[in-house]
Amino acid sequence: MKHTISVLVENEFGVLTRVAGLFSGRGFNIESLSVAPTLDPSVSRMTIVTRGDDRILEQINKQLNKLIDTIKVTDFTGQDYVEREMALVKVAAEEETRAEVLRIVDIFRAKVVDVTPRSYTLEVTGVPTKLDAVIDLLKPMGIKELVRSGPIVIGRGQ
């Protein structure tokens, strides 16, 4: 089962490799990972999407907590949270498809962030399944390049 885990870590030298090394060394899987400092610059937040059964998730949680640099681990699975991911998509836009690309942009409230005579670069934000849907629709047009940020999450309410 898929789990989205949010990890607060000390913003220290080498902390990313500690976390990544823990996953690879113990055979846990990372589907995506995003990291950036929080409001407090001494703390970074990692959002990790992983898969595993209950036993594996319990170990992931405990092993992350065991790292000295880990301040807090939250598994959002089963909780009420907002999830967003961003994709930047460079899609071919020939004369006959330009209008269709823009229609898709409109429907999904995406943005065109760069234009050339033969391509559009789109910025799409939403839950990962929305991004999947946009990408599926754009595929027939010819996707030249795709960059996804990996999801980030935040708990709902106070």
- 70 or 119, CB closer to another protein? 70
| Closer of 20 and 92 to another protein (Cβ) | 20
Binding site for another protein (CB under 8 A): 9-10, 13-14, 17-18, 21-22, 25, 55, 58-59, 62-63, 65-71
Q: At what angle do helices 54-66 and 15-25 cross, to 10 degrees?
A: 150
DSSP, residue by residue, 71-129: EEEEE-TTS-EEEEEEEEEEEE--TTTHHHHHHHHHHTT-EEEEEETTEEEEEEEE-HH
Q: Which is nearer to another protein, 71 or 92 (CB)?
A: 71
CB of 13 vs another protein, minimal distance in Å: 6
Q: Are 89 and 51 in contact (CB under 8 A)?
A: no
In whole angstroms, how close is the CB of 84 to another protein at the nearest point? 27
Q: Which is nearer to another protein, 14 or 78 (CB)?
A: 14
User: Are 118 and 56 in contact, with CB atoms under 8 Å apart?
Assistant: no
Q: From the CB of 147, what's the least distance to another protein, in Å? A: 27
